[in-house]
Each structure stands twice: as structure tokens, then as C-alpha cells.
Amino acid sequence: MEENNNGLLNSWLALFVVVIGTFMAILDSSIANIALPKMMSVFGMQQDSAKWMITAYTLTQGAIIPLTGYLQDMFGPKKVYIFSLIMFTIGSFLCGFSWSGSTMIFFRIIQALGGGMIMPVGMTVVYQLFPKEKIGMPLGVYGIAAMAAPAVGPTLGGYIIEKMDWRMIFYVNVPIGVVAVILAGILLKNSEKQPFKSFDVIGFLSSTIAIVSMLYVLGEGSSIDWSKLENPILMTLGILSLILFIVNELTHPNPLLDLRILKTFDFSISLLISSALSLALMGGTYILPMFLQGIRGYTPMETGIIMLPSAVVMAILMPISGGLFDRIGAKPLVIPGLIILGISSYEFAEIMNTSSSKEAIILVTCIRSVGMGLAMMPISTVGMNAVKVELMAGASALNNTIRQVAGSLSVTIVSTLIQSRADYNYAKLAEQINIYNRASNDLLNTLTKMYVHSGMSQSMAKASAISQLTQMVKGQATIDGMAYAVTITVVAVVVALIFTFFIRTRKGDGTAKHEVQVMH
């Protein structure tokens, strides 16, 4: 009994190490975005070149994730996880030490080589530490890192930039990384040595070209300029490489990513639901910070403080929902969770205006987090539980690859929705500002008088008033565009809800007892 208790304690301590690594890797993605203006100023970079400090990290992450399954099969999850932590820690130190924009971009690539592997390998390690019948709560605890880090990023990043040296954003990872490497070496289990497996060169090259090409174009968001020759060329190259990758993986004896795992029904359904939910997640991680900072004028730190309660709610609920999953299964948690998420997302769109209070925003985002906290981890767990243990490393790599692409695609969809709707709304609102509209004329006269009283000439005051009115119209059009995009995410939640009814696992007993395990 005592030996079992010690083994369980070691497993939970090892899980803590995995959570630390995952939290650092994801946190660094959001925290670097906050520091971008500061780094542009320090290195004297323009926006076009500075964005590569973010883009290089994302593209490298996307390229390295498919490789993790093969590396784990060859060297074992423990060695690969420790290597990824070391790479991430060294990369973080070098980023803090950067002396120019180009060196920062290069060091971000080194950092991403480790950061990209941490999450998929971490998930495999969790399944190595705990039996499937008790995996719900550990995966819930593990999921805290993935969900809380994006919300903590703005708060921590804003505090460091305001109160400390911006380089601390990277240096803070170093001591944590060193401790995590030492603990991982002590606590994680070694795997049996695997026989040598031939490396799928075509699979690696085609997946890298496909993911990097598509993520590069999708990373432009709503500002994708299809008239620029490189964008259609890269997207075509990406799609053709993806087709080559799929054909190669289905015919190769030792594929880089075993796509045959997708024949496992619950795994495929969970990926579809997670991809739909990634669009819903954008309402909180992408639209909300843009609204709070761009429209309401809050600082990054204030924005982070407003977003923090919802992150705490999700962090509390994820292990609880994981524990309940082990007892009652996925559907009784996911269905109510998605209903709560859908209703609260609609309410979130309703309060997206200049007069809503902080308290109202916090309340609605916390309710959204209740829905997300109930649904997110059971969906992921039911999919991974359906996969055979020996295929876990490949399934984890495939899961994270699809999530990475789905996340980038979601950002593009949401930003395009906001921009196109804002342009449409601006045109409609601008039509109403004319000599026959009494309300707009009265507002224009009031603004003109205000500027005249401040000491401007009549002509300058009139020009300033027109400029002010134009900005007000643009601001309202953008708010309406954001609210529209959030409303569309409700559709994604409804799609996820429909897919949930197709899950075949009857209960979360960890043995993945299915009515039908594999699609015929």
C-alpha cells in the first residue's frame, strides 16, 4: 500500500513538472506579443520585419510538432521531454541576451524548437504516468497550463514591461527551466529501448513545407493580400505538399504521423469538436484583448487583470471536470458545457459596447469559462483514450498538429469576419452622415464649438470635428464587427454540440469501451 502511495505521489510530482514546461511554452507565445512594441523600439525595427519575432516562433512550432511522435518512438518520451526543456531554456536565455532584431528572430527559432515539442510530448508523458481509468483529473490539471497561460500572459507581460526590464520576459524562464529539467530527470520514467525505425524523409519534408507555407499565409489574418504573388504561391505549395504528405503517410511502412489513427472514431470526432471549439476560444483569447485595449483603452496589464478571473475559473474547473469524466463520461459534461458556452458567448456579443462595465465583462467571461472548463478536457480525453497505448505518441503529435493549424485558421477567420463586417458597418453608418441628418449635424456643430472654445480657428475646428466624428463612426463599426464575430463563434459551438452526440464511448471508465471502436 505504501509503495502504491509513493508511486502515486511520484506520478503527481512528475505531472507538476509537465505542467510547468507546458505553461512556460504557451505563456511565452502570448507574453512575447505584449513585448513586441518594446522590442521594435529597442532594436529600431519596422512592423513588417518585427512581426518575424512572433511568426518565426509559430512557424517553427508548427514544423517541429509532427516530428515528436517519431522522436518519442526512438528515444522515449522522457529523453525527448528533457531535450525540449533544455532547448526551450537555452533559447529563452539567448532571446533575453539578443542584441539585434535578427539575433532575436534566430534565437526565437531555437526557443520554438523546444517549445513546440513540449506540449505533444507532455501529453504522452501524462498517459505514461497514469492508467487510462484515472486519466481524467491528471489531464484536467495538465490542461490548466494550456488554458490559463494565454490569460496570464498579458498581466505578467504588462507588469514586467511597466515595472522591470523587458528582457525578464525571457530570463524568467531560465531558472524555472533548469529546475524543471532536474525534476524531469529524477521523476519521469524511462521507456524501453525501441528498435530502430526508418525515418520518413518525404513525410517530414512535405509536412514541414505544408505547415510552414499555410501558417505563414494564415498568420496574416484579415490582412492577407492575395494580389501579392507570394501568398497564392505559398498557399498552393502548402496544399500540394499536404496532399503529398497524406498520400505518403497512408502508404509508408513507418509514417511520420500515422494517419490511420483517424480511423478511430472517437479520436476523429474529438478533433472535429476541438477544432470547432478553437474558433469559440478566439472570443476570449483574441477578440476580448483587442476590444479591451483597442476600443476601451485599457493597458495590457489592466486587460490581463480583467481576463484573470475567467482563467482562474477555468483552472479550477478543468481538474474537476477531468475527475467527473472518469466517473460519468464525456457527454454529461460536454453537452451542458457547450450549452453554457453558447448562451454566454451570445451574451458576450450583446455587452460588447463602450458602456458595459468591467464587472459585467468579467461575469460573462467567467460564465464562458465555466462552459469551456466543463467541455474542453473531456473532449480531448475521450479522443486520446480511444487510441491504443502504443500509438499514443503519434496520436498526441497528430492532435497537436491539427490544433496548431486550427488555431491559426481560427485567428484568420475571426480577424477576417471583424474586418469585413467593420468595413460594411462603416459604409452603412457613413451613409447616414449627411446634410439631411439632424443628429449628425447637431453632433458636428457641438464638436466644432468645443474645438473653437479650445482656441482653434473656425476652419480648423470644423476639420477637427469631422475627423473626430469619422473616428467615432470607425470605432462603432469596429465594435459591431467584433460583436458579429463573437456571434458567429456561437455557430461553432452549435456545430461542436451536434458532433458531441456522435461520441460512441458510453462511460469514462478509461478502458475505452466503445460500441464500435473503428470506422469500417
Q: How many CB atoms lie within 10 A of CB 308?
A: 17
Mean pLDDT of the chain: 81
Residue 244: pLDDT over 90: yes
Tell me what the mean pLDDT of segment 216-232 comes to. 74
375 vs 172, 320, 342, 457, 508, CA distance in Å? Answer: 32, 11, 12, 60, 14
Cell 469596429, residue located: 478
Contact 162, 305 (CB under 8 A): no
| Out of 217-226, 249-258, 265-274, 293-302, least confident range | 217-226
CB-based contact 18:142 (threshold 8 Å): yes
Cβ count near 320 (within 10 Å):
16
* pLDDT tens by residue, 162-181: 778 888 888 888 998 999 99
pTM of the model: 0.80
CB count within 10 Å of CB 280 equals 28
pLDDT of residue 514: 40
Instruction: Determine whether 398 is exposed, middle or buried from the number of CB atoms within 10 Å of its CB (0-12, 13-18, 19+).
Output: buried
Residue 520 has pLDDT above 70, yes or no: no
Share above pLDDT 70 across residues of the chain, in percent, rounded to a whole number: 85
**pLDDT, tens only, 126-163:** 888 888 778 888 888 888 877 777 767 767 777 787 77
* Burial (0-12, 13-18, 19+ Cβ within 10 Å), 515: exposed
Domains in the chain: ranges and CATH: 1-197 (1.20.1250.20), 200-255 (no CATH), 260-417+480-520 (1.20.1250.20), 423-478 (no CATH)
Other beta carbons within 10 angstroms of residue 159's beta carbon come to: 16
Q: What is the pLDDT of residues 301-345, one digit of tens each?
A: 787 788 888 888 888 888 888 888 888 888 899 999 999 999 999
